[in-house]
A and B are shown apart, each in its own frame.
Chain A
Amino acid sequence: MAQLAQAIAPPVGRRQRILLTVLRFQGYFGLLTVFLLGIIFSPTRRGVNLFIDPLNQANIVRDIAENGIIAIGMTLVILIGGIDLSVGAVVALVATTGAALLMRVGMGTEVTILAMLALGAAVGFTNGLVSTRFRIQSFIVTLAMMSVARGLARIISTGLAIPIAYGPGAAPVSFSWLGTRIGPNVPVPALIMLVIAVLTGLMLRYTPFGRHVYAIGGNEVAARLSGVRVERIKITVFVMCSVLTALAGLIHAAQLNQGSPNEAVGYELNAIAAVVIGGTSLMGGIGSITGTIIGALMLGMLDNILGLNNVNSDIQLLVKGALIVAAVILQQLRPRDQE
């Protein structure tokens, strides 16, 4: 096959070929570029480049873990041609409810985690069921869920953050593991993100479920006429997204030692940004988990570089906006003949 492809492929000059390669693997090149820029623009302290310092790198991956995990779920939803705006509110709902269960009800770590994942599943099931059964765009359904989840979080916590303390009469210490490190440099949240990314990536590539997800996003009618259980798969995807979001919410609570109903505002936009920078089409049917992780890493490194240079956080927002647009423009130049 490769020979055939070569025979048919247009004869292009060497420079053009290099450009095509760069465009095709632009995600990796983009990440590399941001990484190199990070080193170049990093302040140094006592001869140490602060950006590539292992501790700083560990901080980056820890900081992106929550967004990365949510973005993996968001990738699935976007692949089927949907969107999930409720993730930020679900993080807040899970964080506060989880904190309440640990601190006020006195539940154990495992039970709390399971209960919160189940809560996520229920939210996702509702999103999926309502949008498929009543044929409402997921944009609308999850916009409503965003409001509901945020409201529930405020009701449960009476509007105030619930602090998590560890020890007898408070939360079991084991819960704090979700926000700690293994050894000096391996943050648990990043590890969780990595495992989930690998599993989801494999699932998309090697299971009928993955193929069906791509097919539904590419052409829902054709998928249905090919015998794909469209509704079931869509609902499953919404459940997966919300369960992953719930996991991110638990990590959020563990890292901040509190569950606050007013946090995680705008997380949905960060997740969507990572997905889009990673090359997943908002029209559905095209995209990958690798791309999304690259997108999340690029956003995280950018924040980190700007932070190290004490750039005003308002300026950071501007730079982030520019990055999103630049990434999407570059993707349109990308050769799209192959998957």
Chain B
Amino acid sequence: MAEPHNVPLAPARQPITEEASPKAPVLMMRGITKRFPGVLALSEVDFTVYPSEVHVLVGENGAGKSTLMKILSGVYTDYEGQVELDRSPIHPRSPRDAQKHGIAMIHQDLQQIPELTVYENLFLGREYHGFLGKVDTQRMRAETRRWLSSLGLNIDPDRQVKHLRVAERQLLEIAKAISLEARVLVMDEPTSALNSEEVAHLFNVIRKLRSEGVAIIYISHRLDEIFTIADRITVLRDGRLVDSRPVEEMNRAMLIRLMVGRELTDLFPTEARELGPELLNVEGLSLTDNRRPLHDISFAARAGEIVGLAGLLGAGRTELLATLYGVPHPRQVHGRIFVRGQPVRFRSPRDAIAAGISFVTEDRKGQSLVLVRSVRENISLVGLRQFLRGLVLNLAREEASVGSLIRNLRIKTPGINVRVAQLSGGNQQKVVLAKFLLVQPKIILLDEPTQGIDIGAKVEIYTLINRMAKEGAAVMLASSEMPELLALCDRILVLCEGQVAGELARGEATQEKILELATRFRRADAGERTTAA
């Protein structure tokens, strides 16, 4: 597969110097075993990290990656085995304690206080004090500026964190870690919300830290990324370490086999599909929204077709799907939408559902699922009406329908009355799909449907997307994973700044062309863009 992100590769790895030659590991975790009631989360894991190394930790959801990292960062304190830092045993009792040892963790959901300023966040809990305990803001501002500029980040220390972009917040978190003199830096899926330029910048920062001797433990699901940045790859599966070797000795197929435990011959299953009549037709659609407007969007999607939506973060992919689903106030929506040739005007998602449209949001937990309720209640929420007999629900019939969907989509759950929160990410996503499949939608809008789920589940979702299209639905797939778009979609609409920048048919679409279109209307004023290195 082609180079994923157009990342300018840094100069080849530095030659190993004499003194570092037989490098001593900075971190050794030995024989780590962790049990939860009834579950063996980690079993005898030996995990060794050397200084000046980007050590990628991979594994499917539930493989034990986060458990291992929680032990390292002091979240879990009851485990068997030993953690050694510079060959002396440590026992981090809390994240703060781990930090004192030089172990810092950057979480996926950044733990910053949005209302506070950049420098206040950077020095949270360890503010400099001056005369009579007065907070020394001058000094903190100056230091903040210094740390940030060392990462090629030029932002005002007085800006509120909530006004920063995700990439900037990520870098701020890294700055905080290095200001704490972290020697082991754990990054959990740091790129999940970044566009390719931002990823490139992040990778440069990571390489810089590496050259300064920091060990980076990098957790990611994105294969392309892994091979771009890794020095060493360790694979966990079912709580065991199955392999750990330098990146030179690993390839994609091997990595997938190690993670999944079986050969995945076809990551992107495709089937020949018949295209039917136009199901969705959009003419001059605009959204007058202050933050993320859409301008004059026109396209059509036919039965059996998978139409991709590409674009950088903030290009308007989510807004377009949400508009088609009736989420924004109708007053803000202009232009015409036709479903099966009939003009429609949705006042709410309810209207869109009635017209045969489904929307799988990118925010599974925040917008798609009622986490505290059961698998059954979540799956039947949209299609409840069909179980009505008079005024009352026929629970037996509901159980039968829900049960067959669970089997059909192979949702792994201990039972239908189990809370959705208990399921893994991939299975949760299948619950969301099942919820809409129950009402047999004609038009299916998918926003990042495979975000944050493991490879095995991804393949199943891809198969499902194909099946829905084959059965005559029109599918719109928004994704920031280009390989996914290129492999699955018949056509790709590229959005930029809320407009259609171009359309690419299967065959003519490449990552380069998509990127080119995705940055077509980017305004020259880079005032907002402060990450340029």
Q: Which residues of A contact B (CB under 8 A)?
A: 1-2, 4-5, 8-12, 206-208, 211, 214-215, 218-219, 221-229, 281, 285-286, 336-339
Q: Scan residues 400-421 of chain B and give those whose CB is less than 8 A from a CB of chain A.
A: 403, 414-419
Let me know if B350 is at the binding interface, CB within 8 A: yes
Q: B415 and A4: CB pair below 8 A?
A: yes
For A285, list chain B residues within 8 Å (CB).
370, 372-373
**Separation in Å of the A286 CB from the closest CB of chain B?**
5
**Separation in Å of the B434 CB from the closest CB of chain A?**
12
CB-CB nearest in chain A for B374: A339
Chain B interface helix/strand/loop/mixed: mixed
**Separation in Å of the A331 CB from the closest CB of chain B?**
14
Among A1, A207, A225, A281, the most chain B Cβ lie within 10 Å of the Cβ of A225
Let me know if B173 is at the binding interface, CB within 8 A: no
Compute how far the CA of A11 lies from the CA of B354 in the bound complex, rounded to whole angstroms: 46
Compute how far the CA of A37 lies from the CA of B386 in the bound complex, rounded to whole angstroms: 49
Q: B419 and A337: CB pair below 8 A?
A: yes
Q: B417 and A219: CB pair below 8 A?
A: no
Compute how far the CA of A229 lies from the CA of B384 in the bound complex, rounded to whole angstroms: 13
Q: A8-B414, A208-B393, A339-B373 given. 4 additional CB < 8 A pairs?
A: A1-B417, A214-B373, A218-B373, A337-B414
Compute how far the CA of A215 lies from the CA of B415 in the bound complex, rounded to whole angstroms: 19
Compute how far the CA of A10 lies from the CA of B414 in the bound complex, rounded to whole angstroms: 11
Type the 1/0 row for B261-294, where 1 means its CB is closer than 8 Å to any CB of A: 0000000000000000000000000000000000
Q: B419 and A339: CB pair below 8 A?
A: yes
Let me know if B130 is at the binding interface, CB within 8 A: no
**Separation in Å of the A287 CB from the closest CB of chain B?**
10
CB-CB nearest in chain A for B364: A222
Q: Scan residues 76-110 of chain B and give those whose CB is less than 8 A from a CB of chain A.
A: none
For A221, list chain B residues within 8 Å (CB).
366-367
Q: A222 and B368: CB pair below 8 A?
A: yes
Q: A338 and B415: CB pair below 8 A?
A: yes
Q: A10 and B393: CB pair below 8 A?
A: no
For B435, list chain A residues within 8 Å (CB).
226
CB-CB nearest in chain A for B392: A206
**Separation in Å of the B292 CB from the closest CB of chain A?**
17
Q: A227 and B374: CB pair below 8 A?
A: no
Let me know if B385 is at the binding interface, CB within 8 A: yes
Compute how far the CA of A152 lies from the CA of B348 in the bound complex, rounded to whole angstroms: 38
Q: Which of B370, B371, B403 contacts A223 (CB 8 A)?
A: B370
Q: B417 and A339: CB pair below 8 A?
A: yes
Q: A208 and B388: CB pair below 8 A?
A: yes
CB-CB nearest in chain A for B370: A218
Given the known inter-chain contacts A208-B384, A337-B422, please indicate yes or no for A4 contacting B414, CB distance below 8 A: yes
Compute how far the CA of A180 lies from the CA of B395 in the bound complex, rounded to whole angstroms: 39
For A337, list chain B residues within 8 Å (CB).
414, 418-419, 422
Q: B38 and A11: CB pair below 8 A?
A: yes
**Separation in Å of the B15 CB from the closest CB of chain A?**
52
For A281, list chain B residues within 8 Å (CB).
372
For B373, list chain A residues within 8 Å (CB).
214-215, 218, 285, 339
Compute how far the CA of A225 lies from the CA of B374 in the bound complex, rounded to whole angstroms: 18
Compute how far the CA of A174 lies from the CA of B414 in the bound complex, rounded to whole angstroms: 55
Compute how far the CA of A285 lies from the CA of B354 in the bound complex, rounded to whole angstroms: 25
Let me know if B12 is at the binding interface, CB within 8 A: no
CB-CB nearest in chain A for B403: A1
**Separation in Å of the A281 CB from the closest CB of chain B?**
8
For A222, list chain B residues within 8 Å (CB).
366-370
Compute how far the CA of A166 lies from the CA of B377 in the bound complex, rounded to whole angstroms: 51
28 sample A-B contacts, Cβ–Cβ < 8 Å, listed by A number: A5-B415, A10-B38, A11-B38, A12-B38, A206-B392, A206-B395, A207-B392, A208-B388, A208-B393, A214-B373, A218-B373, A219-B366, A219-B367, A222-B367, A222-B369, A225-B327, A226-B381, A227-B349, A227-B353, A228-B350, A229-B350, A285-B370, A336-B419, A338-B415, A338-B417, A339-B372, A339-B374, A339-B377
Compute how far the CA of A270 lies from the CA of B218 in the bound complex, rounded to whole angstroms: 52
Type the 1/0 row for B336-364, where 1 means its CB is closer than 8 Å to any CB of A: 00000000000011100110000101000
CB-CB nearest in chain B for A3: B415
Compute how far the CA of A339 lies from the CA of B371 in the bound complex, rounded to whole angstroms: 11
For B349, list chain A residues within 8 Å (CB).
224-227
Q: A225 and B367: CB pair below 8 A?
A: yes
CB-CB nearest in chain B for A209: B391
Given the known inter-chain contacts A5-B414, A336-B419, please indicate yes or no for A208 contacting B385, CB distance below 8 A: yes
Given the known inter-chain contacts A1-B416, A338-B419, please indicate yes or no for A215 contacting B369, CB distance below 8 A: no
For A5, list chain B residues within 8 Å (CB).
414-415, 418
Let me know if B37 is at the binding interface, CB within 8 A: yes
Q: B38 and A9: CB pair below 8 A?
A: yes
Type the 1/0 row for B127-139, where 1 means its CB is closer than 8 Å to any CB of A: 0000000000000
Q: Which of B39, B327, B369, B388 contacts A219 (CB 8 A)?
A: B369
**Separation in Å of the B14 CB from the closest CB of chain A?**
49
Given the known inter-chain contacts A215-B370, A225-B367, A228-B381, please indicate yes or no for A1 contacting B361, CB distance below 8 A: no
Among A8, A215, A218, A227, the most chain B Cβ lie within 10 Å of the Cβ of A227
Q: A207 and B381: CB pair below 8 A?
A: no
